[in-house]
A and B are shown apart, each in its own frame.
Chain A
Amino acid sequence: MARNSIYQEETFPSPLIRLWHSFRETKVVMIGFSCFLFLFFLAVFAPILTPYSSVENNLDYLLLPPAWDVNGDVSFLLGTDNLGRDMLSRLMHGTSLTFGLSFVVVITSLVIGVIIGSLSALTKGIKSSFLNHFLDVILSIPSLLLAIIIVAILGPGLGNTLWAIILVLIPQFVHITRNAVKEEFTKDYVLASRLDGANSLRILSYSIFPNIIEKLISQATLAQSAAILDIAALGFLGLGAPIPLPEWGAMLSNGLGLFYTAPWTVYLPGLAILFSVVATNLVGEGMRHALKQSKES
């Protein structure tokens, strides 16, 4: 494409920005993405924004139904639970626990997985195979079981269950990184870089990572939806956040006994979990679709 300086009205975006443009084109994905951003915003600012405290008991207003019900009260928009705590505040605070922590979990396992995967791709032979597969044994243990085992060994607490989930998510990042980096090594521009005298670290950061980052992000969104469900499940079993904290899974298990008298204490946290998982999956789908389109064009 011969270009002269006459054609100045055209802009020349980088490949990542072009990916963003094709990502933006699908309406459904943009809805999912805005929900994702909304949840992220809530997760960060929830402690400031909640109208009431999410942990303090409020014995005057036990089991109030949501505001649209006949007996409800507008000042408690989504009702209260059996200890008088406002459901809306609890749900908002729960965002930063379930959603926010899942984000942290995914980022940590991404970083660790990428480091191990890159080391595995840079070495050859037995060392490489060892690094690639030594965490595979974790894939055979379901995450809940692993969390229970770790809690049994190390004692209950939020941190320990998070370590369990991080461990479970690492192997997939190791494999993806190793395969992507090995594939990039066959390309000519990496050879040209090496011939210029670049050392391995420089080749990794300049030549390889910008080109595999899309694959990593789409894998990360898959991992995040799994992480949300895992944290909620562990909370449901009582293994996650300690009791007063309004993690969505814990709220579900709390409300289960009251299902017939106060169904909103069950379906509201369930809807919240559904909403966040759907939003994450839409973002992941959009990313993969944009990747496929950019490869085809």
Chain B
Amino acid sequence: MAALLQVIELSKSYKLSGHWFNQKTVTALDPLSFEIQAYKTLAIIGETGSGKSTLAKLLVGAEIPSTGKVRLNGQTLNAENFKQRCQHIRMIFQDSGTTLNPSLTIRQLLDEPLKLNTTLNEAQRTQLIQDTLQKVGLLVDHMNFYPHMFSGGQKQRISLARAIILKPQVIILDEALASLDPSLRSQMINLLLDLQQQMGLAFILISHNLGIVRHFSDDMMVLADGKVVEYGKTADILNQPKHKFTQKLIMSQHFQLLHK
């Protein structure tokens, strides 16, 4: 299958401000490349500071890469052009108090991307919002509620609804499941799997929970200090980790994969 998303030599480095004569550059991410296909999930693992959140921001367009480009379906995506990108690549953040705007109703929250990016009229937008809410397992009545009335699991579902409402092709989950309780996490994973099958999405999962990664992803990439340490199929890497960083990670999570 032809690649849905292609990343070629993407890297990011910052100049440290404050030193006028001796400007140090900090490399957050060394050049890396990978590919994703539809219906597949790529997991990105690393400690804090390994560059995985930088990679997420580069992919979704929140930061401009220093080198490299991102191609979707063969077309290069322009770094500045949010409107072009947001229809195809969307992101779900880690649940905290700040994923949803507390003074907007859910309806206004979901209306915003529609108003900015589509030409539907009011009735069509309302219908689309209702369909999307039902798809993620919420009720139509929830449209008029404010975010403070929802629990953590439901807020993540609303973030998911915000992501899928523009019918994208790639969704980035930036530690989206980390703060959920285990039973809610399983529900969310089931929901994501269903949506992947229905809509043909590709997921990029950023996490440090190897259990979820093992269950949910097809391919895996391990980052350490901005460099790609391992990249390949999940089952291969978890069974035979080559780099000592991966080995340490697996050991520290008491994870023993049974050989089939």
Contact = CB atoms under 8 A, between A and B. Distances in A.
Interface of A: 1-5, 12-16, 186-189, 191-198, 202, 206-207, 210-211
Contacts of A198: 112, 116
B103 A211 contact: yes
26 contacts: A2-B151, A3-B145, A4-B139, A4-B141, A5-B141, A14-B105, A15-B103, A186-B98, A188-B96, A189-B99, A189-B100, A189-B101, A191-B93, A193-B101, A193-B112, A194-B62, A195-B82, A195-B90, A196-B86, A196-B112, A196-B117, A206-B101, A206-B104, A210-B103, A211-B102, A211-B103
Q: Which of B82, B117, B144 has the most chain A CB atoms closer than 10 A to its own CB?
A: B82
Nearest to B90: A195
Interface in B72-120: 82-83, 85-86, 90-91, 93, 96, 98-105, 112-113, 116-117
B243 interface: no
Contacts of A192: 91, 93, 99, 162
Given A186-B98, A191-B93, 6 more contacts: A3-B139, A13-B146, A187-B98, A189-B101, A197-B86, A198-B116
Identify the 5 closest CB pairs spanning chains A and B, nearest first.
A210-B103, A187-B98, A197-B83, A196-B113, A189-B101
A3 B96 contact: no
Interface in B108-142: 112-113, 116-117, 139, 141-142
B82 A197 contact: yes
A3 B98 contact: no
Contact of A3 (B101, B105, B142, B148): B142
A150 B90 CA distance: 55
A3 B62 contact: no
A90 to B, nearest CB: 44
A9 to B, nearest CB: 14
Interface string B11-46: 000000000000000000000000000000000000
B60 interface: yes
Contacts of A15: 102-103, 146, 148
